[in-house]
Amino acid sequence: MYEFVTGPLAWITFLVFFLGIIWRVVWYVRGLSWQLDRVAYGYHRSYGVRGALRSIFYWLVPYGTHGWRYHWGFTVLVFTFHIGLLLTPLFLRAHNVLWMERWGFQLPSLPEALTDFLTILVLAAALGILMRRFVRPEVRILTTLYDIVMIAIAVAPFVTGFVAYRHWGDYNFWLIAHILSGEIWLMAIPFTKLSHFVLFFLSRAQLGMDYGIKRGGMKNKGLVW
Amino acid sequence: MPEGTLCNKKTVDTKEYLQALLADKSGKVYYEEMNHLDVNCDALWQLIQKTCKSRLRTWLEICAHCGMCAESCFYYLANNKDPRQVPSYKIQSTLGELIRRKGQVDNAFMQMCMDTAFSKCTCCTRCGVYCPFGIDMGIMFSYLRGLLFSQGFTPWEMKIGTGMHRVYRAQMDVTTEDWVETCEWMAEEWEDDYPGLEIPVDKEDADIIYTVNAREPKHYPEDLAEAAVLFHLAGENWTVPSEGWEETSLAMFAGDWAACKMQVESVYDAMHRLRPKRMVVTECGHAYRATVIEGPYWAGIPSGQTPVESLHYVEWVAEALRTGKIKIDPAKKIKEPVTYQDSCNYIRNAGLKDVAREIMSYIAEDFREMSPNKEHNFCCGGGGGLNGIGRYRQQRNIGMKVKRDQILATGAKLVIAPCHNCWDAIRDLEEVYRVGIRWSFLKPLLINMAVVPEHLLPEE
């Protein structure tokens, strides 16, 4: 089982993930139309690029926009969740050991106490996000089972990884569960709302170009997000 | 079921049809016929497949259901934070659902979409500015209105509006003769006070071509005279066109994209014919948005820009004040607290917030910003055609509470609103809520404050 999930299934996972992401990007960009969208994307390229970069940048900064500042508590949850989610798998010592073994290179490793802490933060933030879905009426009306499943897919690698690392229970079971849940997570990205992994950037860029070219960006410093 | 004589999928291209619609008081027969209007599901789905591309589809798909759009929407706030007014909920339950069902929907669903698209959204696009993914629900509701129009599910007054643009190339039944006569009449009336005042028609190679909202010649011709006086005081070399003089677009509110194209092309034709250096648009927000911002795309112009540079009235005023073409008598500046309505169509959606502040710095001594303001200001409550739709008057009146409270919070009793829809909405909110405010366009205020150059004074 271990050989399968770290061998062929891992290959399939990365293939699906990378090809899927590329497909998403290509599909999005090819589906833009200056006439239907009513934005002269190619004609005013520098204004478009400036608008796109501003649109992405301010939303990547905690409290960088009116929206983040208004929902200041939710902002804490969202940034904590995402920063932990992205940093931990990339800079985890346990993962780097595997990369080194398999491919002969590795990324820098964060201290284990820190990655433990980040994992807890991710789980706490996910819990906060989940609770918010039930407690806030304006979120409850939008929430579906799909949203819960998304959170489950995103946190499963963290729960299973944390348990496996500590050798709680049956190590082999939790290890396989961790690897499988990570693979499910990666393969889900191109096909579900997790595609915001790339579509956040593309969608924000598009709106940024819209405001940057058409809705005022050529007449002033740009929309204050 | 055969379509109704008034409510159907046809466009209003004749005077007869237009008059028949107008004669139906409050659209009583029209809405009754709408209850029996079939949905052509195949045509609807084909139209969606042709026009709904990756931008819209992505918006609908990646919505994280986070609810951050809720408090960005004035309808949500005005309706006591009713969750059914959350922008994401509104668009997902209409356009989102329409696409999920591949157009297989019935009359009741389409009417629900119409009610949502016209009475729960003014397309002010404030929600798009507050969404982390940049999902612009205002744009999507405008798109939905287009789908609804193709199937005949359009509010009565909006259907009439599209007919006006198709038949008269103006939002009201003002012919070229009416227009030119009104210009001549206003120049005559005001000439005594402003000797040499004229409203040149069809002057070629002028610096400025001036275009208006049809309600000005039809109902408030003084506005035309005021514009003429201000150009006169500023020494502008200007003209109006005899055709292509109207730049509003009820067709845009209705989602009649073909009529939108016809309307803006009439203005662009005037630009080609008369070769002005620039166009100045009257104090109307959606007119500027339609003719200057969206229009070039309807007309297929790849640069997305009008044939000649086009200015909203506030841009011309700011320039005139800045360059000293119009000088303000300091004794006549506005001394009382005054606030400014940031209309969605030329502020958030066209970037002219600083121009407005520049004007205020010249004319007001106690300018109070609303909160929030500039590109984050709220819709007046009456945009997107809503002011004129009788069927949704109640919803509009409720929506206006947000603007009412914003104005009251500034402590100002005077609101400057260089936009016809905002002006109407603020007038109506005073009528409904009686909070003791006044509202004004820029023109009458400027006329009161402007110093008349010596050589233009009447002989004593």
pLDDT along chain A (225 residues), means of 10: 90 97 97 96 95 97 96 96 96 93 91 95 97 97 97 97 95 96 97 97 97 94 92
Confidence of residue B48 (pLDDT cuts 50, 70, 90): very high
Q: Are strands B338-340 and B414-416 parallel, antiparallel or unpaired?
A: parallel
Render pLDDT for B53-78 as a digit per residue (tens, 0 to 9): 999 999 999 999 999 999 999 999 99
Mutate to test the interface with B, among A35, A142, A189, A202 (most CBs of B within 10 A): A142
Please provide the average confidence, as pLDDT, over all residues in chain B.
Answer: 96
Q: Give the domain-ending residue among B153, B175, B198.
A: B153
Q: For residue B459, what pLDDT is reported?
A: 76
Asked whether residue B460 carries a pLDDT value surpassing 70, the answer given is no
Beta strand extents in B143-295 (DSSP E only) = 208-211, 238-239, 278-281
Q: How far apart are CA B448 and CA B395, in angstroms?
A: 37
Is residue B203 exposed (0-12), middle (13-18) or buried (19+ Cβ within 10 Å)? middle
CB contact under 8 A, A207 and B68: no
Q: What's the CATH number where B415 sits?
A: 3.40.50
Quick check: is B74 in a domain? yes
Shared domain for B289 and B311, answered yes or no, is yes
Q: Between B63, B64, B350, which is nearest A216 by CB?
A: B350
| DSSP for residue B93 | I
Chain B residues with CB inside 8 Å of A136's CB?
A: 67
Shared domain for B186 and B317, answered yes or no, is yes
Shared domain for B133 and B242, answered yes or no, is no
CB contact under 8 A, A35 and B297: yes
CB contact under 8 A, B354 and A220: yes
Shared domain for B319 and B175, answered yes or no, is yes
Entry field: residues in chain B = 460
Q: How far apart are CA A152 and CA A193, in angstroms?
A: 13
CB contact under 8 A, A213 and B300: no
Instruction: Annotate B384-422 with b (16+ C-beta within 10 A) or e (fewer).
Output: bbbbbbebbeebbbbbbbbbbebbeebebbbbbbbbbbb
Render pLDDT for A32-67 as a digit per residue (tens, 0 to 9): 999 999 999 999 999 999 999 999 999 999 999 999
Shared domain for B77 and B212, answered yes or no, is no
| A181 vs B: CB within 8 A | no
Quick check: is B21 in a domain? no
Confidence of residue B362 (pLDDT cuts 50, 70, 90): very high
Record the tokens describing residue B150, joined without a space: 């193709």
Q: Give the domain-ending residue among B325, B357, B379.
A: B325
Q: Indicate the pTM of the whole model.
A: 0.96
Instruction: Annotate B82-103 with b (16+ C-beta within 10 A) or e (fewer).
Output: bbebbbbbbbbbbbbebbeeeb
Q: Which domain covers residue B46, as residue numbers? A: 39-153
Q: How far apart are CA A99 and CA A107, in angstroms?
A: 8
Confidence of residue B1 (pLDDT cuts 50, 70, 90): confident
For chain B, what percent of residues have pLDDT higher than 70? 100
CB A134 within 8 A of CB A140: yes
Record the tokens describing residue A24, joined without a space: 């998403």
Quick check: is B336 in a domain? yes
| CA proximity to A206, closest of A15, A17, A84, A34 | A34
Q: Between B58, B65, B372, which is nearest A28 by CB?
A: B58
In DSSP notation, A27-81 reads HHHHT--HHHHT--TTTTHHHHHHHHHHHHHHHHSTT-SHHHHHTHHHHHHHHHH
The answer, yes or no, to whether ipTM is higher than 0.90 is yes
Quick check: is B365 in a domain? yes
Quick check: is B46 in a domain? yes
Q: How far apart are CA B260 and CA B254, in angstroms?
A: 10
Q: Which residue has the tokens 């006006």?
A: B164
Shared domain for B179 and B292, answered yes or no, is yes
Shared domain for B235 and B372, answered yes or no, is no
CB A138 within 8 A of CB B86: yes
Shared domain for B218 and B96, answered yes or no, is no
Render pLDDT for A83-104 as a digit per residue (tens, 0 to 9): 999 999 999 999 999 999 988 9
Please provide the average confidence, as pLDDT, over all residues in chain A.
Answer: 95
Quick check: is B189 in a domain? yes
Alpha-carbon B441 to chain mean position? 14
Shared domain for B336 and B375, answered yes or no, is yes
Question: How many domains does the structure of chain B reveal?
Answer: 3
Render pLDDT for B435-445 as a digit per residue (tens, 0 to 9): 999 999 999 99
Render pLDDT for B239-261 as a digit per residue (tens, 0 to 9): 999 999 999 999 999 999 999 99
Render pLDDT for B85-113 as a digit per residue (tens, 0 to 9): 999 999 999 999 999 999 999 999 999 99
Shared domain for B343 and B276, answered yes or no, is no
Record the tokens describing residue B307, joined without a space: 């044939």
Record the tokens describing residue B82, joined without a space: 């009713």
Q: How far apart are CA B460 and CA B458, in angstroms?
A: 6
Shared domain for B273 and B359, answered yes or no, is no
Record the tokens describing residue A40, joined without a space: 């002269």
* Sign of the CA dihedral running B351, B268, B302, B258: positive
Q: What's the CATH number where B57 sits?
A: 1.10.1060
Q: Give the domain-ending residue among B153, B183, B206.
A: B153
Quick check: is B18 in a domain? no
Q: How far apart are CA B401 and CA B411, in angstroms?
A: 16
Distance from CA of B355 to the nearest CA of A (A): 10
Whole-angstrom CA distances from A132 to A138, B98, B387 are: 10, 28, 37
Q: For residue B194, what pLDDT is reported?
A: 93
Render pLDDT for B195-232 as a digit per residue (tens, 0 to 9): 999 999 999 999 999 999 999 999 999 999 999 999 99
Quick check: is B370 in a domain? yes
Record the tokens describing residue B99, joined without a space: 């696409």
